[in-house]
Structure 1
Amino acid sequence: MIRIHLDPPLREDSEMPLPEEAFRHLVQVLRLREGEPFTVFCGDGGEYEATLSAVARRSATLRLGARREADRESPLLLTLAQCVSKGDRMDYTLQKAVELGVQRIQPLLSARSVVKLDGERWEKKLEHWRGVIVSACEQSGRTRLPELAAVQPLERWLPACAEAGLRLTLDPLAAGGIASLPTRTSATLLIGPEGGLSEAEIRQAAAAGFQGLRVGPRILRTETAGVAVLAALQARFGDWG
């Protein structure tokens, strides 16, 4: 079933103009016609049956049907604190993290981050990432949008980190792996950039309560590391069992 996200509010048994971006996707790309069904959600935990009630050359109207609750969120509350990686690597990480059930994403800048932007360009980057998150929710069936926090320097975020539960970062020299972790209902995973975290940042993370986690003898790329560990955490503590 085709799913699209629309901004709230949405109401049962109502008609509304199809926004321009949704028109391009549904009508111009997917070639939907009047009466064809799809699903609409706005991020509040529910979704609506919908059809196109009228289609013109440059616009369309949709009709919303019944609302249904759809709880597809993981019982394991996951935060991904990801040091920003370059280009498509960050997009891939965000997309897969959403598919894997992450509830909060904190982009970070660290000593070895290669992406350097000014304030206005960071806002554009955040808007792009929000689009990646929305698309991943549409594809994966989620009805709640994960929170995307503003970009912060790692050295400022660590001392103020208030996330509960497990605090994890990857360390090939750590004593324990996934199997050694105690049972928890929430976890925060800190992943470094392309060049990894510096020694000073690793010490700062430890001081902030982050424990090292070993995930085998192979070194994972930054876009692989978060995805792999999120999957392992879902298998161990989440809804994959």
Structure 2
Amino acid sequence: MSKHRPHLYLAGGWEDDSIPLDQGARHHLVTVLRLRDGDSVTYTDGRGTVGLGTFAGDAVTRGNEVALERPRPMLTMAVAPPKATERSRMVVEKLAEMGVDRLQWLDTVHVEGRVPKIPKRDAWRSNALEQSQGAWLLDVASPVSLDDLAQDAVLWVATPGGEQPQPVSGPLVVAVGPEGGFAEHEIPLNAQRIGLGDRILRVETAVVVSAALALYHLGRSATRSSGLEAVLGAPS
């Protein structure tokens, strides 16, 4: 049985032949994963570069690296924060794991939750990036209204009784409202109202379902953006 090879998020700006590890990363690799000097790891800067290197105690020695093109079309999930912190955590983690490009928090009439604090958010998205062996760190933006969302993208709004979504060829924004839904006056006239089935879903469930639908209709559902096949020379 082959040994698990960790995938690490190491913030960019690499200049030397080795990348220093902070104390938390070293502790996890040595104490939890039982890595030894010379064991192989994969790593990413969260901006599309992935590499295959070796663990060297307090650093990762760089090896073969590949710079990837970002998957297109771009997908932004616009979400009203759920009331409980753990539910917001699920939103961040699942979108990061699925390879969504951007999470745009929404400020709506019926919103109940608060945007998670930055240290928690950053830990959630970086851990999810490592777990999913991704190459692109989820971008997270401060709350805006539906009217302030990107005007150059197709806008889907998840609503009860909405239509079946159709394939999209350009950038897409998918909006998921709070438990009480969007107020009617909040929904822009140019939005396509999409349905997610007959049941009323929690915010975090609706986010995962609508993100999966969006990736499928963008033609990205079968795309692997990790690039690990390239640096390893075979599927990981």
**Normalising TM by the smaller chain, what interval?**
0.7 to 0.9
SS for the counterpart of 1:31 is coil
Q: Which amino acid aligns with 1:138?
A: E
Q: State whether structure 2 residue 185 is matched by structure 1 residue 203.
A: yes
Q: Which residue of structure 1 aligns with residue 99 of structure 2?
A: 101
Residue 142 of structure 1: which of 124, 134, 149 is its match?
134
Alignment partners' CA distance in 2, 1:173 and 1:102: 25
Alignment partners' CA distance in 1, 2:149 and 2:19: 42
Q: Is the 8 A contact 1:167 1:187 kept in 2?
A: yes
Name whichever of 181-190 and 31-40 sits farther off. Answer: 181-190
Q: Is the 8 A contact 1:81 1:105 kept in 2?
A: yes
Q: Which residue of structure 2 aligns with residue 160 of structure 1?
A: 148
Residue 27 of structure 2: which of 3, 8, 24 is its match?
24
SS for the counterpart of 2:160 is coil
Residue 5 of structure 1: which of 9, 26, 30 is its match?
9
SS for the counterpart of 2:188 is helix
TM value normalised by structure 2: 0.82
1:169-198 CA-partner distances (Å, limit 9, x unpaired): 112233x212xx25322211111123322x
Say which structure is richer in helix.
Answer: 1
SS for the counterpart of 1:206 is coil
Pairing 1:61-100 to 2, within 5 Å after superposition: 61-71=59-69, 73-85=70-82, 86-100=84-98
Alignment partners' CA distance in 2, 1:109 and 1:20: 37
**Superposition deviation, residue 75 in structure 1:** 2.4
**Superposition deviation, residue 163 in structure 1:** 4.3
Residue 177 of structure 2: which of 171, 174, 192 is its match?
192
Q: Which residue of structure 2 aligns with residue 235 of structure 1?
A: 216
1:64-90 CA-partner distances (Å, limit 9, x unpaired): 12212345x532311011101122111
Q: Which amino acid aligns with 2:148?
A: A
Alignment partners' CA distance in 1, 2:167 and 2:25: 44
Alignment partners' CA distance in 2, 1:61 and 1:74: 30
Q: State whether structure 2 residue 131 is matched by structure 1 residue 128.
A: no
**Superposition deviation, residue 111 in structure 1:** 2.7
Percent sequence identity over matched residues? 26
Alignment partners' CA distance in 2, 1:170 and 1:195: 12
Aligned-pair Cα RMSD in Å? 2.1
Alignment partners' CA distance in 2, 1:76 and 1:188: 11
Alignment partners' CA distance in 1, 2:188 and 2:38: 57
Alignment partners' CA distance in 2, 1:16 and 1:95: 25
Alignment partners' CA distance in 1, 2:59 and 2:218: 43
**Superposition deviation, residue 49 in structure 1:** 1.7
Aligned length: 217
Could you list the structure 1 runs, at least 4 aligned residues long, displaced by more than 6 angstroms after superposition: none
Alignment partners' CA distance in 2, 1:48 and 1:182: 34
SS for the counterpart of 2:215 is helix
Q: Is the 8 A contact 2:158 2:176 kept in 1?
A: yes
Structure 2: state its 5+ residue gaps.
223-236
